[in-house]
Structure 1
Amino acid sequence: MKNSWAARAVLFAEIAIVLVTSFGLIVNTYHSRQQFALLEQVRSEQRSLEDRWAKLLLEESAFSSPSRVERIARSELKMYLPSLDDIKDIKELNGKR
């Protein structure tokens, strides 16, 4: 009878270990899939941000082109290239003091 009880205890212990291990495996697989889905979402966001960055760089180069800057300076800011009469030599100005 003692051997029968010991055999049952070992059997129940083995079943418990198998169940706990199986449950741990299921939980681990679930977390792994969650992390993989999150990784894919972050990678997708990264690709989207890289595309946006490329567009912004292109836009920046278009807005900062010398011809555009000059056109806006002339039309909106009423700027012009100074004539030779408007240009003063700093050395001359310092000498007149």
Structure 2
Amino acid sequence: MNRGRVATVLVLLLAITASGVLVVHAKYLTRMSFNQLQEIRGQRDGLDLQWNHLRLEEAALSTDVRVERKARDELGMYLPRVGDVMLIEEADHEFP
């Protein structure tokens, strides 16, 4: 073989080796990215579950019956009796 062919073969072997290394590296990066994606999806699913739980809890805590009971028991509030209500009539004069 002459030197030109040997050099060509060596360059091709080097190119094939570099190409193989780059393919392996790309595959490694793809797997790492996929693992990160799976981890993020797991976090998202956990947050979705927590959000749904909080929405149910909010709905349970904000029912009219529960709010009324808390207002009566903890704050001492009550519905006004007929004698507690005053009717204020509108005056007939204009304000400047």
TM-score of the pair, normalised by structure 2: 0.89
Which protein has the bigger helix share?
1
Q: 2:74 aligns to what?
A: 76
Q: Does 1:95 align with 2:91?
A: yes
Q: Separation in 2 of the partners of 1:29 and 1:61?
A: 48
Q: In structure 2, give the amino acid aligned to 1:54.
A: N
Structure 1: 5+ residue stretches without partners: none
Q: 1:9 aligns to what?
A: 7
Q: 1:61 aligns to what?
A: 59
Q: 1:50 aligns to what?
A: 48
Deviation of 1:89 (Å): 2.9
Deviation of 1:7 (Å): 0.5
Q: Separation in 2 of the partners of 1:61 and 1:15?
A: 69
Identical columns (%) = 31
Deviation of 1:26 (Å): 0.8
TM-score of the pair, normalised by structure 1: 0.88
Structure 2: 5+ residue stretches without partners: none
What is the RMSD of the two structures over their aligned residues, measured on CA atoms?
Answer: 1.7
